[in-house]
Structure 1
Amino acid sequence: MNGAACPSIERRAFPEFRALAGARRLEGYAATFGAEARFRDFVETIEPGAFRASLDGDILALVDHDPGLVLGRTRSGTLRLSEDSRGLAFSLDLPDTQAGRDIIALAERGDIGGMSFGFLIPAGGEVWTGKRRSLRAIDLREISVVQAFPAYPDTRIALRARGAFDARAARRRAIEIAERAL
Protein backbone atom coordinates (compact mmCIF):
# COMPACT_ATOMS: atom_id res chain seq x y z
CA MET A 1 0.00 0.00 0.00
CA ASN A 2 1.17 3.55 -0.62
CA GLY A 3 0.15 4.81 2.82
CA ALA A 4 -2.86 6.73 1.52
CA ALA A 5 -6.03 6.38 3.55
CA CYS A 6 -8.43 3.84 2.07
CA PRO A 7 -12.06 5.00 2.10
CA SER A 8 -14.44 2.96 4.21
CA ILE A 9 -17.01 0.89 2.35
CA GLU A 10 -20.53 1.85 3.41
CA ARG A 11 -23.39 -0.64 3.62
CA ARG A 12 -27.17 -0.25 3.37
CA ALA A 13 -29.91 -2.88 3.66
CA PHE A 14 -33.35 -3.32 2.03
CA PRO A 15 -35.97 -6.04 2.64
CA GLU A 16 -37.15 -6.35 -0.98
CA PHE A 17 -36.70 -9.70 -2.70
CA ARG A 18 -38.49 -12.93 -3.61
CA ALA A 19 -37.61 -16.56 -4.27
CA LEU A 20 -38.90 -18.09 -7.46
CA ALA A 21 -40.82 -21.28 -6.65
CA GLY A 22 -38.89 -24.37 -7.73
CA ALA A 23 -35.94 -22.29 -8.91
CA ARG A 24 -32.57 -21.54 -7.34
CA ARG A 25 -33.03 -17.82 -7.91
CA LEU A 26 -33.66 -14.71 -5.82
CA GLU A 27 -34.97 -11.54 -7.43
CA GLY A 28 -35.86 -8.13 -6.13
CA TYR A 29 -34.28 -4.80 -5.24
CA ALA A 30 -30.98 -4.26 -3.45
CA ALA A 31 -31.84 -0.52 -3.18
CA THR A 32 -34.79 1.75 -3.89
CA PHE A 33 -34.71 5.36 -5.04
CA GLY A 34 -36.17 8.15 -2.93
CA ALA A 35 -36.71 6.04 0.21
CA GLU A 36 -35.35 7.63 3.38
CA ALA A 37 -32.88 5.85 5.63
CA ARG A 38 -32.65 7.44 9.06
CA PHE A 39 -29.37 7.18 10.90
CA ARG A 40 -28.48 8.66 14.26
CA ASP A 41 -27.55 12.12 13.00
CA PHE A 42 -28.65 12.25 9.35
CA VAL A 43 -31.21 11.12 6.79
CA GLU A 44 -30.11 9.60 3.47
CA THR A 45 -31.78 9.03 0.09
CA ILE A 46 -30.58 7.54 -3.19
CA GLU A 47 -31.29 9.36 -6.43
CA PRO A 48 -32.27 7.62 -9.68
CA GLY A 49 -29.20 6.86 -11.78
CA ALA A 50 -26.86 6.64 -8.77
CA PHE A 51 -25.73 3.10 -9.66
CA ARG A 52 -25.49 3.58 -13.44
CA ALA A 53 -21.68 3.96 -13.65
CA SER A 54 -21.09 0.85 -11.49
CA LEU A 55 -23.19 -1.60 -13.46
CA ASP A 56 -20.42 -2.45 -15.94
CA GLY A 57 -18.04 -3.55 -13.15
CA ASP A 58 -17.65 -6.98 -11.56
CA ILE A 59 -20.10 -6.87 -8.64
CA LEU A 60 -20.32 -9.73 -6.13
CA ALA A 61 -23.37 -11.20 -4.39
CA LEU A 62 -22.48 -12.23 -0.82
CA VAL A 63 -24.06 -13.50 2.38
CA ASP A 64 -23.97 -10.79 5.09
CA HIS A 65 -21.14 -8.89 3.34
CA ASP A 66 -18.81 -11.86 3.91
CA PRO A 67 -16.31 -12.18 0.99
CA GLY A 68 -15.87 -15.82 2.00
CA LEU A 69 -19.52 -16.54 1.15
CA VAL A 70 -19.88 -15.67 -2.54
CA LEU A 71 -23.29 -16.46 -4.05
CA GLY A 72 -22.69 -15.04 -7.52
CA ARG A 73 -21.12 -12.27 -9.56
CA THR A 74 -21.88 -10.18 -12.59
CA ARG A 75 -18.71 -11.30 -14.42
CA SER A 76 -19.92 -14.92 -14.51
CA GLY A 77 -23.53 -13.95 -15.31
CA THR A 78 -24.91 -15.53 -12.12
CA LEU A 79 -25.80 -12.05 -10.82
CA ARG A 80 -27.67 -9.63 -13.05
CA LEU A 81 -28.15 -5.99 -12.01
CA SER A 82 -30.11 -3.17 -13.61
CA GLU A 83 -31.60 0.19 -12.72
CA ASP A 84 -35.26 0.89 -13.35
CA SER A 85 -37.56 3.64 -12.14
CA ARG A 86 -37.84 2.00 -8.70
CA GLY A 87 -34.21 1.22 -7.89
CA LEU A 88 -31.36 -1.27 -8.24
CA ALA A 89 -32.97 -4.52 -9.41
CA PHE A 90 -31.17 -7.85 -9.15
CA SER A 91 -31.60 -11.45 -10.24
CA LEU A 92 -29.30 -13.97 -8.56
CA ASP A 93 -28.86 -17.64 -9.52
CA LEU A 94 -27.92 -19.33 -6.25
CA PRO A 95 -25.13 -21.93 -6.27
CA ASP A 96 -25.50 -25.54 -5.13
CA THR A 97 -23.20 -24.86 -2.16
CA GLN A 98 -23.97 -24.94 1.54
CA ALA A 99 -24.39 -21.16 1.58
CA GLY A 100 -26.69 -21.27 -1.47
CA ARG A 101 -28.80 -24.09 0.00
CA ASP A 102 -29.02 -22.24 3.34
CA ILE A 103 -30.22 -19.05 1.63
CA ILE A 104 -32.87 -20.97 -0.32
CA ALA A 105 -34.07 -22.67 2.87
CA LEU A 106 -34.18 -19.38 4.79
CA ALA A 107 -35.93 -17.63 1.92
CA GLU A 108 -38.63 -20.28 1.69
CA ARG A 109 -39.48 -19.76 5.38
CA GLY A 110 -39.41 -15.97 5.29
CA ASP A 111 -36.51 -15.72 7.72
CA ILE A 112 -34.31 -13.45 5.60
CA GLY A 113 -34.54 -9.77 6.49
CA GLY A 114 -33.62 -8.35 3.13
CA MET A 115 -30.89 -7.24 0.80
CA SER A 116 -27.98 -4.91 1.41
CA PHE A 117 -25.23 -3.35 -0.64
CA GLY A 118 -21.65 -2.27 -0.01
CA PHE A 119 -20.42 0.89 -1.72
CA LEU A 120 -18.03 3.81 -1.88
CA ILE A 121 -18.94 7.38 -2.77
CA PRO A 122 -16.91 8.85 -5.64
CA ALA A 123 -15.92 12.51 -5.65
CA GLY A 124 -19.06 14.59 -6.21
CA GLY A 125 -21.32 11.61 -5.59
CA GLU A 126 -23.09 13.05 -2.56
CA VAL A 127 -24.84 16.28 -1.69
CA TRP A 128 -25.43 17.40 1.90
CA THR A 129 -28.20 19.81 2.84
CA GLY A 130 -28.03 20.24 6.58
CA LYS A 131 -28.48 16.75 8.00
CA ARG A 132 -29.78 15.28 4.74
CA ARG A 133 -27.48 13.30 2.46
CA SER A 134 -28.47 12.62 -1.14
CA LEU A 135 -26.47 9.94 -2.97
CA ARG A 136 -26.15 10.89 -6.65
CA ALA A 137 -23.35 8.47 -7.63
CA ILE A 138 -22.46 5.19 -5.95
CA ASP A 139 -19.43 3.00 -6.61
CA LEU A 140 -21.16 -0.34 -6.01
CA ARG A 141 -18.90 -3.16 -4.76
CA GLU A 142 -21.32 -5.87 -3.68
CA ILE A 143 -24.88 -6.77 -2.82
CA SER A 144 -25.63 -9.10 0.08
CA VAL A 145 -28.42 -11.27 1.35
CA VAL A 146 -28.84 -10.16 5.00
CA GLN A 147 -30.70 -11.51 8.00
CA ALA A 148 -32.58 -8.50 9.42
CA PHE A 149 -33.07 -4.77 10.03
CA PRO A 150 -32.85 -2.92 6.72
CA ALA A 151 -31.60 0.65 6.67
CA TYR A 152 -34.26 1.68 4.14
CA PRO A 153 -37.69 0.63 5.48
CA ASP A 154 -39.76 1.60 2.41
CA THR A 155 -39.21 -1.71 0.61
CA ARG A 156 -41.18 -4.92 1.20
CA ILE A 157 -40.27 -8.58 1.63
CA ALA A 158 -41.88 -10.97 -0.82
CA LEU A 159 -39.85 -14.03 0.17
CA ARG A 160 -40.16 -16.96 2.57
CA ALA A 161 -37.32 -19.07 4.03
CA ARG A 162 -36.18 -22.17 6.00
CA GLY A 163 -32.84 -22.83 7.79
CA ALA A 164 -30.72 -23.06 10.92
CA PHE A 165 -29.67 -20.15 13.14
CA ASP A 166 -26.22 -18.83 12.15
CA ALA A 167 -24.60 -17.31 15.26
CA ARG A 168 -21.69 -15.82 13.29
CA ALA A 169 -24.01 -13.99 10.90
CA ALA A 170 -26.20 -12.83 13.79
CA ARG A 171 -23.13 -11.32 15.51
CA ARG A 172 -22.13 -9.52 12.29
CA ARG A 173 -25.65 -8.10 11.94
CA ALA A 174 -25.62 -6.94 15.58
CA ILE A 175 -22.30 -5.14 14.95
CA GLU A 176 -23.69 -3.50 11.78
CA ILE A 177 -26.80 -2.35 13.65
CA ALA A 178 -24.67 -0.94 16.49
CA GLU A 179 -22.44 0.90 13.99
CA ARG A 180 -25.51 2.41 12.31
CA ALA A 181 -26.70 3.72 15.68
CA LEU A 182 -23.44 5.61 16.31
Structure 2
Amino acid sequence: MPGEIETRAFVEVRAAGRKLEGYAATFGSEARLGNYVETIAPGAFRSSLAGDVIAMLDHDPGKVLGRTRSGTLRLAEDGKGLAFSLDLPDTQAGRDVLALAERGDLGGMSFGFTVPKDGESWQGERRTLRAIALKEISVVQAWPAYPDTEIAVRAKRDASDAERRRRALILAGATKWA
Protein backbone atom coordinates (compact mmCIF):
# COMPACT_ATOMS: atom_id res chain seq x y z
CA MET A 1 0.00 0.00 0.00
CA PRO A 2 1.64 3.31 -1.08
CA GLY A 3 2.54 5.72 1.72
CA GLU A 4 2.28 3.07 4.44
CA ILE A 5 4.91 3.56 7.14
CA GLU A 6 7.51 0.78 7.34
CA THR A 7 9.80 0.08 10.29
CA ARG A 8 13.32 -1.38 10.52
CA ALA A 9 15.56 -1.98 13.53
CA PHE A 10 19.28 -1.90 14.36
CA VAL A 11 21.48 -2.57 17.40
CA GLU A 12 23.90 0.36 17.83
CA VAL A 13 23.47 2.75 20.77
CA ARG A 14 25.57 4.29 23.59
CA ALA A 15 24.37 6.26 26.60
CA ALA A 16 26.26 9.23 28.04
CA GLY A 17 24.64 10.67 31.14
CA ARG A 18 20.96 10.94 30.24
CA LYS A 19 21.85 10.76 26.56
CA LEU A 20 21.70 7.86 24.11
CA GLU A 21 23.96 7.95 21.09
CA GLY A 22 24.64 5.61 18.24
CA TYR A 23 23.20 4.56 14.90
CA ALA A 24 19.52 4.18 14.10
CA ALA A 25 20.49 2.65 10.73
CA THR A 26 23.67 1.51 9.04
CA PHE A 27 24.43 1.54 5.34
CA GLY A 28 25.02 -1.72 3.49
CA SER A 29 23.71 -3.98 6.29
CA GLU A 30 21.35 -6.67 5.13
CA ALA A 31 17.97 -7.31 6.72
CA ARG A 32 16.09 -10.46 5.79
CA LEU A 33 12.44 -9.44 5.70
CA GLY A 34 10.25 -12.35 4.77
CA ASN A 35 11.01 -13.31 1.19
CA TYR A 36 13.42 -10.47 0.38
CA VAL A 37 16.69 -8.92 1.54
CA GLU A 38 16.93 -5.17 2.08
CA THR A 39 19.87 -2.77 2.33
CA ILE A 40 20.12 0.99 2.78
CA ALA A 41 22.28 2.99 0.39
CA PRO A 42 24.51 5.84 1.64
CA GLY A 43 22.67 9.15 1.41
CA ALA A 44 19.21 7.57 1.77
CA PHE A 45 18.31 9.78 4.77
CA ARG A 46 19.74 13.04 3.40
CA SER A 47 16.41 14.64 2.47
CA SER A 48 14.85 13.75 5.86
CA LEU A 49 17.44 15.48 8.01
CA ALA A 50 15.84 18.92 7.65
CA GLY A 51 12.38 17.71 8.76
CA ASP A 52 10.92 17.07 12.20
CA VAL A 53 11.69 13.50 13.30
CA ILE A 54 10.42 12.02 16.57
CA ALA A 55 12.22 9.55 18.87
CA MET A 56 9.94 7.02 20.56
CA LEU A 57 10.07 3.85 22.62
CA ASP A 58 9.02 0.81 20.57
CA HIS A 59 7.30 2.94 17.90
CA ASP A 60 4.71 3.98 20.51
CA PRO A 61 3.53 7.59 19.90
CA GLY A 62 2.47 7.66 23.56
CA LYS A 63 6.14 7.27 24.58
CA VAL A 64 7.92 10.19 22.92
CA LEU A 65 11.57 10.47 24.00
CA GLY A 66 12.60 13.52 21.93
CA ARG A 67 12.37 15.23 18.57
CA THR A 68 14.54 17.16 16.18
CA ARG A 69 12.28 20.24 16.24
CA SER A 70 12.96 20.78 19.96
CA GLY A 71 16.67 19.92 19.68
CA THR A 72 16.40 16.91 22.02
CA LEU A 73 17.09 14.59 19.07
CA ARG A 74 19.97 15.23 16.71
CA LEU A 75 20.47 13.26 13.48
CA ALA A 76 23.31 13.16 10.97
CA GLU A 77 24.46 10.94 8.14
CA ASP A 78 28.08 9.84 8.04
CA GLY A 79 29.92 7.11 6.20
CA LYS A 80 28.51 4.43 8.49
CA GLY A 81 24.83 5.36 8.59
CA LEU A 82 22.22 7.46 10.37
CA ALA A 83 23.85 8.68 13.59
CA PHE A 84 21.72 10.02 16.41
CA SER A 85 22.08 11.70 19.79
CA LEU A 86 19.02 11.71 22.05
CA ASP A 87 18.59 13.60 25.34
CA LEU A 88 16.42 11.27 27.43
CA PRO A 89 13.53 12.94 29.26
CA ASP A 90 12.88 12.55 32.98
CA THR A 91 9.68 10.61 32.25
CA GLN A 92 8.85 7.00 33.04
CA ALA A 93 9.72 5.96 29.48
CA GLY A 94 13.02 7.88 29.61
CA ARG A 95 13.98 6.40 32.98
CA ASP A 96 13.06 2.90 31.77
CA VAL A 97 15.21 3.26 28.65
CA LEU A 98 18.17 4.50 30.68
CA ALA A 99 17.85 1.66 33.23
CA LEU A 100 17.58 -0.98 30.50
CA ALA A 101 20.50 0.51 28.57
CA GLU A 102 22.72 0.56 31.67
CA ARG A 103 21.91 -3.11 32.29
CA GLY A 104 22.52 -4.08 28.67
CA ASP A 105 18.92 -5.20 28.15
CA LEU A 106 17.89 -3.09 25.15
CA GLY A 107 17.45 -4.76 21.78
CA GLY A 108 18.61 -1.89 19.62
CA MET A 109 17.26 0.90 17.44
CA SER A 110 14.58 1.02 14.81
CA PHE A 111 13.12 3.60 12.46
CA GLY A 112 9.78 4.26 10.79
CA PHE A 113 9.71 5.56 7.23
CA THR A 114 7.98 5.77 3.90
CA VAL A 115 9.66 5.38 0.54
CA PRO A 116 9.19 8.27 -1.89
CA LYS A 117 8.58 7.62 -5.57
CA ASP A 118 11.76 6.21 -7.14
CA GLY A 119 13.35 5.86 -3.68
CA GLU A 120 13.92 2.13 -4.01
CA SER A 121 15.33 -0.28 -6.53
CA TRP A 122 14.76 -4.01 -6.86
CA GLN A 123 17.04 -6.66 -8.25
CA GLY A 124 15.24 -9.98 -7.96
CA GLU A 125 14.48 -10.41 -4.26
CA ARG A 126 16.92 -7.69 -3.17
CA ARG A 127 15.58 -4.24 -2.29
CA THR A 128 17.87 -1.23 -1.98
CA LEU A 129 16.50 1.87 -0.26
CA ARG A 130 18.05 4.90 -1.99
CA ALA A 131 15.76 7.58 -0.49
CA ILE A 132 13.85 7.36 2.78
CA ALA A 133 11.24 9.76 4.17
CA LEU A 134 12.13 9.29 7.84
CA LYS A 135 9.22 9.73 10.28
CA GLU A 136 10.66 8.45 13.55
CA ILE A 137 13.40 6.51 15.24
CA SER A 138 12.68 4.18 18.15
CA VAL A 139 14.58 2.54 20.95
CA VAL A 140 13.46 -1.11 20.80
CA GLN A 141 13.34 -3.35 23.81
CA ALA A 142 13.37 -6.66 21.90
CA TRP A 143 14.89 -7.79 18.56
CA PRO A 144 15.84 -5.49 15.70
CA ALA A 145 15.36 -6.36 12.03
CA TYR A 146 18.85 -5.14 11.11
CA PRO A 147 21.59 -6.70 13.26
CA ASP A 148 24.31 -4.05 12.83
CA THR A 149 23.36 -1.16 15.11
CA GLU A 150 24.68 -0.41 18.57
CA ILE A 151 23.26 0.92 21.84
CA ALA A 152 25.53 2.06 24.63
CA VAL A 153 25.15 3.98 27.86
CA ARG A 154 27.79 6.14 29.45
CA ALA A 155 26.69 7.70 32.71
CA LYS A 156 28.32 10.91 33.93
CA ARG A 157 29.32 9.88 37.45
CA ASP A 158 31.99 10.92 39.88
CA ALA A 159 35.43 9.27 39.82
CA SER A 160 34.32 6.59 42.32
CA ASP A 161 31.97 5.26 39.68
CA ALA A 162 34.57 4.97 36.91
CA GLU A 163 33.94 1.25 36.51
CA ARG A 164 30.32 1.88 35.64
CA ARG A 165 31.34 4.33 32.91
CA ARG A 166 33.67 1.74 31.41
CA ARG A 167 30.77 -0.65 31.14
CA ALA A 168 29.29 1.34 28.26
CA LEU A 169 27.20 -1.30 26.67
CA ILE A 170 27.53 -2.37 23.10
CA LEU A 171 24.75 -4.57 21.80
CA ALA A 172 26.06 -6.25 18.72
CA GLY A 173 24.81 -9.43 17.21
CA ALA A 174 21.41 -9.23 18.90
CA THR A 175 19.18 -12.23 18.50
CA LYS A 176 17.26 -12.18 15.23
CA TRP A 177 13.91 -13.82 14.69
CA ALA A 178 14.33 -16.72 12.34
Shift of 1:8: 1.3
The one-character-per-residue Cα deviations of 1:31-60 (angstroms, maximum 9, x if unpaired) are: 000000011200000000000000000000
Shift of 1:158: 3.6
1:60 corresponds to which of 20, 29, 54 = 54
Q: TM-score, normalised by structure 2?
A: 0.84
1:18 corresponds to which of 11, 14, 19 = 14
Unmatched 5+ stretches in structure 1: 161-176
Q: Does 1:145 align with 2:139?
A: yes
Q: Match of 1:124, as an amino acid? A: D
2:93 corresponds to which of 75, 89, 99 = 99
Q: CA RMSD in A?
A: 1.7
Look up the SS of the partner of 2:35 in the other structure.
Answer: coil
Q: Match of 2:13, as an amino acid? A: F
The one-character-per-residue Cα deviations of 1:118-155 (angstroms, maximum 9, x if unpaired) are: 00000000000000000000000000000121111133
Number of aligned residues: 157
Q: Match of 1:53, as an amino acid? A: S
Q: Does 1:133 align with 2:127?
A: yes
Q: Does 1:81 align with 2:75?
A: yes
Shift of 1:6: 6.2
Q: Which runs of 4+ in 1 moved over 6 A?
A: none
Q: Match of 1:127, as an amino acid? A: S
Look up the SS of the partner of 2:102 in the other structure.
Answer: helix
2:64 corresponds to which of 49, 66, 70 = 70
User: Could you say which residue in structure 1 is the equivalent of 2:159?
Assistant: none
Q: In 2, Cα distance between the equivalents of 1:155 and 1:117?
A: 12
Look up the SS of the partner of 2:95 in the other structure.
Answer: helix
User: Could you say which residue in structure 1 is the equivalent of 2:163?
Assistant: none
User: Could you say which residue in structure 1 is the equivalent of 2:30?
Assistant: 36
